[in-house]
Amino acid sequence: MTIHDEAIDLSPLLYPDSDGQPMGENTKQFTLIALIKENLEVLFAEQPDVFIAGDLFWYPVEGRVTIRRAPDAMVVFGRPKGDRGSYKQWEEDNIPPQVVFEIISPGNTVKEMQHKLEFYTTYGVEEYYAYDPDDETLDGWIRSATGDLEPIAHTPNLNGWVSPRLGIRFDMPIQRSLTIYRPDGEPFKPLGVLFDERNQARRERQILALRLQQEQEQREAAEQEREVAEQRAQREQHEREAAEREREAAEQRAA
């Protein structure tokens, strides 16, 4: 019996948010996972319908708790940003992650990586990239017209390959580490640089907001002064008119 033939129990189930395993088996893997995930967050920051996550359980089938994967990084177009304990596909308009990344660690076996490829093939991933920082190899698969994830036939290590979905370019000449470039040609930046830029951008936004507030207050103060001046001018005009009427009345009485 295949997983598609089994009866699915839709009674309330617990879908764990974690398997208790660390996000990265070593500092190198963790750094690369964070680098990819955070730079993608920055790249799609202005698009509210692009959800990006790292090491988040993805459950593609309701009622099947054991059918799950936690890609090191995944991108879902058509779903809003926001916190999630896990990605339950049936609660997300049944939209699967279109792009996933795996950073291979020494603990990943060939069999395990094959199972991941089969999973991503079965459940709708369009682009899958697997990077081994120790062997300095980058492999990729893309969904073909036949519906399968096929190896990307490009150049060794996908050097120069541009992701159709993300628009990012992979640069990995032989015997060199991977560098990923944004569509604008800027390389993915280390986390420290990203955080510094975010802090600087936040400070600039705060300064701009303060300046706009001050300008608004100045405009309001100027408007109040104008209104006061108009009221004073009207009052003085009324006083002159009243004085003129009194003068005319006095002249009439004297006549």
| 3-state helix vs strand vs coil in the chain, percent to 5 | 40, 15, 45
Domain made up of 27-189: CATH architecture: Alpha-Beta Complex (3.90)
Decide: pTM greater than 0.85: no
Q: List, for residues 106-115, the tens digit of each pLDDT value.
A: 888 899 999 9
The tokens describing 25, both together, are: 């088996």
Residue 97 in contact with residue 75, Cβ under 8 Å? yes
Residue 203's pLDDT is what?
75
Spatial contact of 40 and 98, defined as CB atoms under 8 Å apart:
no
Q: Inform me whether the pLDDT recorded for 3 exceeds 50.
A: no
138, β-bridge pairs: 131
Which 8-state DSSP code applies to residue 158?
G
- The tens digit of pLDDT for each residue in 7-53 reads 555 556 777 676 556 555 678 899 999 999 999 999 999 999 999 99
Domain boundaries, the chain: 27-189, 190-255
Q: Which pLDDT does position 11 carry in this prediction?
A: 54
pLDDT band at 5 (very low <50, low <70, confident <90, very high): very low
| Distance from the first to the final alpha carbon of the chain | 122
pLDDT digits (tens, 9 = 90+) for 161-200: 999 999 999 998 876 789 999 999 999 998 877 767 767 7
